Amino acid sequence: MMIYEEIKKLFLEEFQQEPMLVRSSGRVNLIGEHVDYNGGFVLPAAIDKSAYVAIAPAESQIGKWISMDLKKKTEVDFGVFKPLADHRWANYILGVVEQFAKRGLSVKPFHCVMSGDVPIGSGLSSSAALESAIAFGINEMNNLGLDRTALAQLVQQAENEFIGVKCGIMDMFASLRGKENHVLRLDCETLDYQYFPLSLGDCKIVLFDTGVKHNLVDSEYNVRRSQCEEGLAFFRKKFDNAVQNLSQVPLAWLQASRSQLNPVVYNRCQYVIEENQRILSACEDLQAGRLEDFGIKMTATHEGLRHLYEVSCQELDFLVDELWHESAVLGSRMMGGGFGGCTINIIKMEAIDGLFAKLSTRYEQKMGKKLKMYSVVTANGTEIING
Ligand code: GLA
């Protein structure tokens, strides 16, 4: 049975009512890491791993929410938006509901059942996928008329304010606006976006999952964000108050500031400024079919994330280092927030199985953990399923 059929079945059993079924994808990001909240460019794609939600109006103020995967159930009073300490999963939904209310948009209380196949804590944005599915469902069910960009902004704010991760807009934007066979280049300052066909020839995108679960709420993610803000405030004061974000800061300003900036903040800024330049030329490589050059830039991104931005971990570094010299691997780097999760790799198809066998043995020997591999393809953005 497909996941959406399972949640529908459970919904019908619990509520004897026909639900709306919504699917929303997780994402990969080819290049442009930790630049979304710095107003830079990112290059994500929605993938064929999704969150699924069955949703329908409740008859009273009380909604019943069920997580099929966690085997948990909770009741929610729509008059109160208090985080639920014993049901952290439900907070992802509550945060979204609260944002509609904050915009003065009235949301009918609802029941919902959710499930999905985006691995949790692996850096594939399972939470953004769930929040995007819920936001989309609420918007449809209540005829609120928000477009996908407005929904992405709403979901980002829910994460920022209710969950407490000061994330950028990349994950939810990709989940809501992804397009099959394409990557999306998003300017995170203006929210202008453009689709690029993703043609990988005889290569595939492969993810290796370290098995180190990352939870950005408890990580140094928010610390990185404030270090970047410190850098931006410095450049504004010293050079030009009109500069809007760190990605726009010229490298020359940074270089002229070495003695005045805190060395850690300096490194963070160097990474962001370089990464934003890297992604623009990487997009040209992709368009021109220069996959080898694109791959070299991915690897440079990893080096920056590891040494300057310091969001990698030994497991991620091990996986990247092991593949560095393999001729069948065009590019390899950690992906997403970091501190665990997956590496993203572009690998020649015929070499994938052999490499995985070798890599997983080495990984288990060195790290004492099982390595998982996901081969992903791109998918469309959030949609209603007629199931
Ligand atoms: C997480 C965040 C995103 C982005 C990435 C790093 O996935 O949710 O907003 O900052 O990390 O690029």
User: Is 171 annotated in the active site?
Assistant: yes
Residue 27's CATH number: 3.30.230.10
Q: 61 is in which domain, residue-wise? A: 3-198+379-385
Q: Provide the 8-state DSSP code for 350.
A: G
Q: Is the model's pLDDT at 264 over the cut of 90?
A: yes
Confidence of residue 101 (pLDDT cuts 50, 70, 90): very high
Determine the residue type at 298.
M
Confidence of residue 316 (pLDDT cuts 50, 70, 90): very high
User: Both 230 and 365 in a single domain?
Assistant: yes
User: Both 151 and 222 in a single domain?
Assistant: no
Q: Is the model's pLDDT at 236 over the cut of 90?
A: yes
User: Both 17 and 159 in a single domain?
Assistant: yes
How many angstroms from the chain centroid is the CA of residue 350? 28
What CA–CA distance (Å, rounded) separates 143 from 153? 18
Q: Which of 43-47, 158-162, 183-187, 213-217 has the lowest mean pLDDT?
A: 213-217
User: Both 190 and 222 in a single domain?
Assistant: no
Residue 247's CATH number: 3.30.70.890
Ligand 1 atom index nearest CA of 35? 12
Ligand 1 centroid distance, CA of 46 (Å):
14
Residue nearest to atom 10 of ligand 1 (CA): 34
What CA–CA distance (Å, rounded) separates 30 from 183? 8
Ligand 1 centroid distance, CA of 195 (Å):
20
146-149-155 Cα angle (round to 5): 85
Residue from 171, 202, 293, 353 carrying the catalytic annotation: 171
Confidence of residue 88 (pLDDT cuts 50, 70, 90): confident
Distances, alpha carbon 194 to alpha carbons 142, 182, 197, 358, 378, in Å: 29, 10, 10, 38, 15
User: Both 223 and 370 in a single domain?
Assistant: yes
How many domains are contained in the chain? 2
pLDDT digits (tens, 9 = 90+) for 207-230: 999 999 877 766 799 999 999 999
What CA–CA distance (Å, rounded) separates 49 from 214? 18
Place of tokens 């704010």: 157
User: Both 45 and 188 in a single domain?
Assistant: yes
User: Both 185 and 272 in a single domain?
Assistant: no
Q: Is the model's pLDDT at 271 over the cut of 80?
A: yes
Ligand 1 centroid distance, CA of 167 (Å):
6
pLDDT digits (tens, 9 = 90+) for 111-170: 999 999 999 989 999 999 999 999 999 999 999 999 999 999 999 999 999 999 999 999
Residue nearest to atom 1 of ligand 1 (CA): 337
